[in-house]
Amino acid sequence: MELKAKIPDGPIEKKWEKHRFDMKLVNPANKRKYSVIVVGSGLAGASGAASMAELGYNVKCFCYQDSPRRAHSIAAQGGINAAKNYQNDGDSVYRLFYDTVKGGDFRSREANVHRLAELSVNIIDQCVAQGVPFAREYGGLLANRSFGGAQVSRTFYARGQTGQQLLLGAYQALQRQIGLGKVEMYPRHEMLEPILIDGRARGIVVRDMVTGELETHLADAVVLATGGYGNVFFLATYAKGCNGTAAWRSYKKGACFANPCFTQIHPTCIPVHGDYQSKLTLMSESLRNDGRIWVPKRADDKRPPGEIPEEDRDYYLERIYPSFGNLAPRDVSSRAAKRVVDEGRGVGPTGVGVYLDFADAIERLGEDVIAERYGNLFEMYERITDEDPYKVPMRIYPATHYTMGGLWVDYNLESTIPGLFVIGEANFSDHGANRLGASALMQGLADGYFVIPYTIGDYLARTKFEPLAADHPEAVATVAEVEVRIKRLLSINGTRTPTSFHRELGQIMWEYCGMARTREGLQEALGKIPALREEFWENVTVPGAATELNQSLEYAGRVADFLEIGELMCLDALEREESCGAHLREEYQTEDGEALRDDENYAHVAAWEYAGEGKKPIRNVEPLEFEYVELATRSYK
Ligand SMILES: Cc1cc2nc3c(=O)[nH]c(=O)nc-3n(C[C@H](O)[C@H](O)[C@H](O)COP(=O)(O)OP(=O)(O)OC[C@H]3O[C@@H](n4cnc5c(N)ncnc54)[C@H](O)[C@@H]3O)c2cc1C
């Protein structure tokens, strides 16, 4: 398949402006004749649905939670980047663009990233106008803090609840359109298949999660804003419900899946404490503004942290990366933590953890200031660990947090299925092989508020649509497909729960496709995952019926998809014979353990195309060109 990225010509800073002029428009009076389905009500989906409805399109919006307000975006803590340069510390659109391309280890599209940096400033204005209560300086201007991979302070925040406050803003905008009758909201509805008619996305099949009824919804275009698939690892910082089903079902209908192995492992999570744990908790990266990361210098030093004097501590990030210190990017910081733990210098009861210490900051600034900045995060930490981080250092360790991979999209955010657009974390765009902190919220809102409202109009204006009814043979066939799968899941009556399969898959993924990967390990995983999947389809137990509220059934369907997604991730990791960003292949690293890219052979996006059941998917390639940021080895030293 030829991947047409549709990047506009011209200088990078003019591309989006030119493109907006070149795109076709839908006359205001005609907009109400078009309908759009948006799957997802997180920051990307809610902002996209509200903006398209505001323009006049008829929108149907779906989510599996009981309220759009409960989308996973609500969990985002630390902040959102924007190149406002309020700090006067040297920031600019170009610097944000540069930092993001470099931070992504040169595996993202320059044109998309520049657009993102340009739009970052509009997002803040939009959110302030909505009343999002960003933190402010004494003079009234919005405050900023620093996040990893940047030497300027450009992160806007609302204490440790930035995602929640931004989502309330987007939700208000959505709610306004629901009130005006321009958005029909379908909470507790799960999309199980896209409907393609004449090769175009024209609808979806959803299951009403309360009654179990299958419904057909048709429209002129479909937008997926369904978030990331990182829960494939079972233990992750994601909300438990996050899954890859919508993206995966679309992949199997023709949407290419790009760079599936690029998953972000976040360095500051509360360490795993036992075998029965089902969730990991993030401690926001913002804590690294004031917290100092260290381990004892000697592996045999088992003294409590307070008894280890300064000279026996190794502040390893400050030592190895003096320019960025504790704010080295996530991939670099995670690997450094793994290295010291592998050396036997890890802390805590399991030995798999490092300290994040606020003692210096408390002494310098006072407990009140620290409480004001991070109070809710400290409280959360104490509730989970029963340790008071004002008195003893936090213990942290890397955990799965975000997926840079996702459905391939062109510059218009359209997938390889015409009429199927993908926004937010669900697409692969913008972050390359490693996302910088506070850039996911920026991307989701840029896509939803400022990109999709334009590009969807262009698609609608260029396309001729035949009227459709739910009894269209393709729609009927798609419903039948969903029914068969549900029946199959319910009829197996095996002995193992979906959770036990998911946990085992997660262990395989973490061991072989986690922070460090090897050829042998990935080959091993590619043997184990299909065997586990086969066992799943012979031995899973799903109690209850299809026509009722059935959380086991919902979950089993998602686990079945994870068992396929995991395999594609390992295949992608195996075939990318280089290290870049979060993808560390142990065979390709520098002497001091940093990622060693192979730009000659791998400066491209790998976009996987489904080839049919039991067949190896096709690896398509979109070459990446770097005209503005020189391809160089990343250095944070
Ligand atoms: C703990 C934590 C903290 C974070 N902090 C930050 C931060 O400070 N700054 C930052 O930039 N990023 C942060 N991130 C990342 C960021 O929160 C996410 O990447 C972002 O919120 C994703 O938004 P989204 O709209 O793409 O998807 P989501 O918010 O995940 O929303 C997905 C939506 O899709 C719906 N959906 C999914 N599948 C289906 C289906 N099959 N049928 C129907 N509906 C479906 C869901 O119901 C939901 O409404 C954090 C992530 C975590 C886990």
Residue with CA nearest ligand 1 atom 12? 440
User: What is the dihedral sign for C-alpha 203, 205, 208, 213?
Assistant: positive
Distance from residue 250's CA to the centre of ligand 1 (Å): 18
3-class secondary structure per residue, 203-227: EEEEEECCCCCEEEEECCEEEECCC
Do residues 306 and 392 touch, judged by C-beta distance below 8 A? yes
Say how far apart CA 505 and CA 517 lie, in whole Å. 16
Q: Which residues pair with 396 in a beta bridge?
A: 354
Residues with CB under 6 A from ligand 1: 39-45, 62-65, 71-73, 75-80, 162-163, 190-191, 225-227, 237-238, 242, 245-246, 282, 284, 401-402, 424-426, 438-441, 444
Residue with CA nearest ligand 1 atom 30? 227
From the list 611, 426, 478, 432, the residue with the least C-alpha distance to 201 is 478
Candidates 3.40.710.10, 3.30.56.10, 1.20.58.100, 3.30.450.20; CATH matching 473-623: 1.20.58.100
Give the chain's length: 637
CA angle 91, 92, 98 (to 5 degrees): 95
Say how far apart CA 437 and CA 196 lie, in whole Å. 36
Measured between alpha carbons, how far apart are the two ends of the chain, in Å? 41
Low-confidence ranges of the chain (pLDDT < 50): none
Say how far apart CA 379 and CA 359 lie, in whole Å. 16
Say how far apart CA 574 and CA 571 lie, in whole Å. 5
Domain at 266-400, CATH class: alpha beta
Do residues 429 and 410 touch, judged by C-beta distance below 8 A? no
User: What is the dihedral sign for C-alpha 252, 256, 260, 264?
Assistant: negative
Do residues 167 and 176 touch, judged by C-beta distance below 8 A? no
pLDDT score for 183:
98
pLDDT score for 274:
84
Residue with CA nearest ligand 1 atom 10? 438
Q: Is the overall model pTM greater than 0.75, yes or no?
A: yes
Between the alpha carbon of residue 127 and those of residues 67, 139, 169, 247, 393, the distances in Å are: 21, 20, 7, 28, 35
pLDDT score for 334:
92
8-67 confidence digits (pLDDT tens): 999 999 999 999 999 999 999 999 999 999 999 999 999 999 999 999 999 999 999 999
Ligand 1 atom closest to residue 281's alpha carbon, by position in its atom list: 1
Instruction: Based on the residue annotation, tell me whether 519 is a catalytic residue of this protein.
Output: no
State how beta strands 183-186 and 58-62 pair.
Answer: parallel
Grouping H, G, I as helix, E, B as strand and the rest as coil, residue 200 is strand
Ligand 1 atom closest to residue 227's alpha carbon, by position in its atom list: 27
φ and ψ at residue 273, rounded to 5 degrees:
-120, -5
Q: Which of 47, 72, 251 gets mutated to test ligand 1 (max ligand atoms within 8 A of its CB)?
A: 72
* Crossing angle between the packed helical segments 162-179 and 43-55, to the nearest 10 degrees: 30
What residue segments make up the domains of the chain, in order of their start?
266-400, 473-623
Residue with CA nearest ligand 1 atom 6? 76
pLDDT score for 636:
77
Q: 197-229: string of b/e by CB count within 10 Å (b at 16+)?
A: beebbbbbbbbebeebebebbbbbbbbbbbbbb
- Burial of 463: CB neighbours in 10 Å, binned 0-12, 13-18, 19+: middle
DSSP 493: -
pLDDT score for 148:
78
Provide the Cα torsion 6, 252, 236, 530; round to 10°.
-130
